[in-house]
Amino acid sequence: MNDKLLKQIRKNIDYIDKKIIHLLNERMENALKASKVKETIEDKSREKQILAKISRKEGNLVDQEFILELYKSLFNESRTLQEKGLKLIGFQGAHGAYSEMAAKNWNKKLVSIPCDTFAEVFEGVKTGLYDYGILPVENTLGGVVGTVNELLMNDDELKIVGAIEQPIEHCLLYPEAEKFRDIRKVYSHSQAISQCKNFLERNNLEPVKYYDTAGAAKLVAEEKPEATGAIASSLAAELYDLEIVKQNIENVSKNRTRFFILSKTAQSKEGDKCTIIFSTAHKAGTLFNVLSIFADAKINLTRIESMPSGTGNYSFFLDFIGSIKDEKIQKILQEVQDNTENYRIMGCYKERSNQ
């Protein structure tokens, strides 16, 4: 009996430890964010303020001296981290999201910071909170990520400095895989849900939309709603201590998402791909004329996307292979600009595919 009790208590302690580490990590992330907007790293008055706040807690089992010591070392660690001048990249979702995996694959030295919405990532880069932002633009199964294209269309400040394709492998996660029979509901991002539609239908599972795949995994792990699983990455399973019931549950096995990496300053290194945006006059054949400029020059277009912009008007995104440092490309772009409205180069960058 005592053995069983001790086991349960130790399980609780393990859980609390994990939470402490998660929270410490979150605190450090916020310290790094703060360092991007404050003048100097060391701020004694702020430290005093924090200490005053935490020492006011009454009925606490933890000794004041101990807390003081703990926080002193915490402040130290925080300062050291801030002094490193680390570069931050904002991504939408919770830790373990596919966007974070793509960010790590693009540049593993960057510190990835979770954001709730795409707009938050966007604004974060604009205000200088993040050096970079990573956003999904299209998926082989789910199609275009409309909200992201809308943000890109309505902005004239940020530059695309990179693009990366990330393979997406959805997994059904549950606290205890062997109890798979109990699962009735599945939380996930709407894109993931549509990509796994067949699997969900075959197994009679009810999808529930959530803001993020990894966020759904976090919710299932922490709140353990009854009979509820999540669709997320295997990385999310690892991060949130969930078990994988089934791997690769997407409708088509070739599931990839393309991400753009945004920054306030354009890429200085030579790129191999460009993205431009423009709108055309409401006349017959105007888009055709623009496309024929590329066709005549034998330039390979890799993406063309239209977005409604105001009543009856359309904006077009165009990706093509080439570098803006190339004179031939410059000449063509001049021609495109002369034939379109609201023309803008969004970036010239290196496209990377991650196998």
Partner 1 sequence: MDLKLASRKNKKKTIVDVDGIKIGEELVVIGGPCAVESEEQTMKAARAVKAGGGKILRGGAFKPRTSPYSFQGLGLKGLRILEKAKQETGLPIISEVMDSRDVTWVAEYVDILQIGARNMQNFSLLKEIGKTKKPTMLKRGMYSTLKEWLNCAEYILSEGNPNVILCERGIRTFESYTRNTLDLSMIPSVKEVTHLPIIIDPSHGTGKLSLIEPMAKAAVAAGADGLMVEVHPDPKNAKSDQQQQMTPDQFKKFMKNVNALDNFING
Name the site residues for partner 1 (rule: CB under 8 A).
177-178, 180-181, 199, 202-204, 244-247, 249
Cα–Cα distance measured from residue 40 to residue 275, given in angstroms and rounded to the nearest whole number: 38
Instruction: Please identify which of the residues 257, 275, 280, 340 carries the catalytic annotation.
Output: 257
Cα–Cα distance measured from residue 237 to residue 242, given in angstroms and rounded to the nearest whole number: 5
Shortest Cβ distance from residue 216 to partner 1 (Å)?
A: 20
Q: Which is nearer to partner 1, 204 or 268 (CB)?
A: 204
Q: Which is nearer to partner 1, 110 or 192 (CB)?
A: 192
Shortest Cβ distance from residue 207 to partner 1 (Å)?
A: 16
Q: Which residues pair with 90 in a beta bridge?
A: 113, 133
Shortest Cβ distance from residue 181 to partner 1 (Å)?
A: 5
Question: Are the C-beta atoms of 351 and 272 separated by less than 8 Å?
Answer: yes
Q: Which is nearer to partner 1, 178 or 338 (CB)?
A: 178
- The angle formed by the CA atoms of residues 14, 19 and 23, to the nearest 5 degrees, is 150
Burial of 338 (0-12, 13-18, 19+ CB in 10 A): exposed
Mention every residue, 6+ apart, whose C-beta is less than 8 A from residue 10. none
Shortest Cβ distance from residue 222 to partner 1 (Å)?
A: 23
Q: Which is nearer to partner 1, 94 or 172 (CB)?
A: 172
Active site residue 259: yes
Instruction: Please identify which of the residues 259, 278, 294, 317 carries the catalytic annotation.
Output: 259
Tell me the CB-side half-sphere exposure of residue 349, using CA atoms within 13 A: 24
Backbone φ and ψ for 39, nearest 5 degrees, come out as: -70, -55
Cα–Cα distance measured from residue 340 to residue 211, given in angstroms and rounded to the nearest whole number: 37
- Residue numbers annotated as active site: 257, 259
